[in-house]
Amino acid sequence: MSTDTTSPETAQNATQIDAIDLSKPQLLGLFGGGAGPRALLRSPDGAITTATVADTTPLGEVVAITDSYVLLRSADATIRRLMMPA
């Protein structure tokens, strides 16, 4: 168990109300490793998915994952970019 205290700035940032719009698809996180880049996605219905490039998710096919965004292709071939929340 950590005995470090949380700074007031960190506590403020971690407890913001309505920090992201939960009614829209959201990119919650980006991370990498031996299997390549992965993205943590949230659907408007609350489903959370971890995806890699070429995976098909409820939000569409993952076309690309960069260090700041994910590109998704929908069934009608529309490309959508999800950015990390500010």
pLDDT at residue number 66: 93
Q: Is 54 within the bounds of a domain?
A: yes
Residue 36's domain comprises 19-83
Number of domains in the chain: 1
Residues of the chain with pLDDT under 70: 1-3, 13
DSSP state letters, 52-74: -TT-EETTEEEEEE-SSEEEEE-
Kindly tell me the sign of the dihedral angle through the C-alpha atoms of 35, 25, 69, 57.
positive
CATH code at position 30: 2.30.30.830
Q: Is 5 within the bounds of a domain?
A: no
pLDDT at residue number 3: 61
pLDDT at residue number 2: 53
Round to whole Å and give the CA distance between 42 and 49.
Answer: 6
pLDDT at residue number 5: 81
pLDDT at residue number 73: 98
Q: Is 14 within the bounds of a domain?
A: no
